Structure 1
Amino acid sequence: MRYALLLTLSLLLSGCSLFQVTPKAPPAPTGKAQSITRAQSGGLPKLGTISASVRGSPDDAQRAIAARANQVGAVYYQILMIDETVTPGIWYTTAILYGASPAAGARQ
């Protein structure tokens, strides 16, 4: 019984570490919006959210988000969700748009 309790407690505590994100620097800004992870989004100014619904594949949904991010002038975007709708072949995706880091602007 003790071992089961110890094992359960150990698994719960190690599972909590999955929710902690180690901050990482985003890639250098380029002429096009770049996809980033949650760990890279810390310190970046949030510009808003966008969504797209496209017929095709999950890759088509990602390309639609990248195109919309470029249209509005975002430097980075983080895809939150890609999911197939009730209708087969229609994909829905949502992303957060970010601008350039204020620290990066001060260095230039």
Structure 2
Amino acid sequence: MIRWFIPFILALLLSGCSVLEGKPQPAPPVSDRPQEISRNQTQGLQEIGAFNVTVLGSPMDVEDEIKARATDAKADYYVILMMDDTVLPGRWYARALLYRQ
């Protein structure tokens, strides 16, 4: 009984990963300022750069800094890969990718 149970559970767990991945979606129409998109909306877009930011403030201040850098780079879209606080109170770190249509 255990011989088939472990492979069955492993197959079940691995098949659940595909549900979390998502299917490719089109990016929204280009506007006059950069828009945040998700990773499954990047198909067919040209990646033009990546950067890190460290900001003293709040998560919203990090998002504002990312938007400002995307605007300076003349990007159409950006994806925030990760955002996390550091060991210092009020200091936030983020990584983002920039895309152009």
Partner of 1:47: 48
Q: Deviations over 1:14-54 (max 9, x none)?
A: 32314543110001000100000001011100001022111
Correspondence for 1:94: 95
Report the Cα distance in structure 1 between the residues aligned to 2:63 and 2:18, rounded to whole angstroms: 29
* 1:1-108 to 2 correspondences below 5 Å: 1=1, 4-5=5-6, 8-18=9-19, 20-100=21-101
Q: TM-score, normalization: structure 2?
A: 0.86
TM norm structure 1: 0.81
Q: How many residues in Structure 1 have an aligned counterpart in Structure 2?
A: 100
- Give 4+ residue runs of structure 1 displaced > 2 Å after superposition: 1-7, 13-16, 18-21
Runs of 5+ consecutive residues of structure 2 not aligned to the other structure: none
How far has the Cα of 1:81 moved from its partner? 0.7
SS of corresponding position for 1:83: strand
Over the matched positions of the two proteins, sequence identity in percent amounts to: 43
Unaligned runs of 5+ in 1: 101-108
Deviation at 1:7, TM superposition (A): 5.7
Which one-letter code corresponds to 1:43 in the other structure?
G
